[in-house]
Amino acid sequence: MVKIAFQGERGAFSEDAATKLFGENIDFLPCIQLRDVFRAVSEDKVRFGVVPLENSQAGSINETYDLLLTYPLHIFAEVILRVSHYLMALPGEKLDDIKTIYSHPQALAQCEGFLSKLKVEIVPSYDTAGSAKMIAEKGLGNCAAIASRRAAALYGLEILASEIETSVINYTRFVAISKEKAKRAEQNKTSLVFAAEHKPGSLYRILGIFATKNINLTKLESRPSRTKPWEYVFYADFEGHLDSEVCQEALKELQREATFIKILGSYPQAT
């Protein structure tokens, strides 16, 4: 049985992502913070960690990107999860009874359209599933949580409203992190982070390497450098495996142009 760490309580969306990647036969290690997931993998407490990387509505999870830069781990796999939010409460509660709703700030933001029609107090919490667990364990009447369908089943709560997210185009990309490197698949993706010289045209020349090699960049995003104020590192995803000849040629050219490179992983590309 594979052991996997994720941030949040049992029933979190990261658990859904883990089961989609590795199946139901999993031993889970819930963690309070994202950093704890990376630490658990680094210290061999688990074989894999599953962490959110970006949401189609809210954008990148910056903390995850920063941790990928910090820890010597590899992206082993990726999965794209359709995120549906459910309003849940203790058995017997009605929607009209609810006075307070708890959930993670991102979930609350993604359900703003639904919540704006209710006269309730909105209370941010550290975790969607954690909010459901709190209501169940403390027996909080007149309270509801926004979490996954899995969380409602785990904590014995009744669903008062289904799929309450404002946008139906609500997907989150999760990645599995590991000390292991993924095997080459039929369709692959490579993620890396690099820094360019603080000179005119440096980023242009780097991006030109991918263009001339006909390598498709699927993501490019800058983050502030933690070592120099007002300088930036760039996170990039591209189609292809680093072991391929064309990617090796591109990497050699990139090493001549970039001031820093870290390969985050080559792994099977999610559909």
Domain at 243, CATH number: 3.30.70.260
Residue 217 CA to residue 240 CA, distance in Å, equals 10
pLDDT, tens digit, 9 for 90 and up, residues 96-133? 999 999 999 989 999 999 999 999 999 999 899 999 99
Query: ∠145-148-151 over CA atoms, to 5°?
Result: 75
Q: Is residue 105 part of a domain?
A: yes
Mean pLDDT throughout 16-39? 95
Domain end among 143, 178, 213: 178
Q: Which single residue is written with the structure tokens 């550290």?
A: 126
pLDDT, tens digit, 9 for 90 and up, residues 53-80? 998 887 889 999 999 999 999 999 999 9
Q: Is residue 134 part of a domain?
A: yes
What are the tokens at 128? 């969607």
Confidence of residue 227 (pLDDT cuts 50, 70, 90): confident
Residue 90 and residue 50 in one domain = no
Residue 227 and residue 255 in one domain = yes
Residues contacting 119, CB < 8 A, separation 6+: none
Domain end among 151, 178, 205: 178
Q: Is residue 166 part of a domain?
A: no
Query: Total structural domains in the chain?
Result: 3
Residue 28 and residue 76 in one domain = yes
To the query of whether residue 13 is one of the catalytic residues in this protein, the response is no
pTM exceeds cut of 0.85 = yes
Catalytic residue among 28, 38, 48, 174: 174
CATH number at residue 146: 3.40.190.10
Q: Is residue 183 part of a domain?
A: no
Q: Is residue 217 part of a domain?
A: yes
Residue 105 and residue 66 in one domain = no
Which range of residues forms the domain containing residue 97?
86-161
To the query of whether residue 166 is one of the catalytic residues in this protein, the response is no
Write out the H or E segment, with its range, that includes residue 193: strand 188-196
Q: Which single residue is written with the structure tokens 């962490």?
A: 51
Catalytic residue among 172, 190, 234, 238: 172
Residue 124 and residue 110 in one domain = yes
Helices (H), 92-147: 105-110, 112-115, 128-138
Q: Is residue 99 part of a domain?
A: yes
pLDDT, tens digit, 9 for 90 and up, residues 234-246? 999 999 999 999 9
Give Cα separations from 167 to 15, 61, 112, 250 (angstroms).
22, 19, 10, 38
Residue 153 and residue 205 in one domain = no
Residues contacting 96, CB < 8 A, separation 6+: none
Residue 65 and residue 94 in one domain = no
CB distance 29 to 52 below 8 Å: no
Residue 240 CA to residue 49 CA, distance in Å, equals 23
Mean pLDDT throughout 27-31? 96
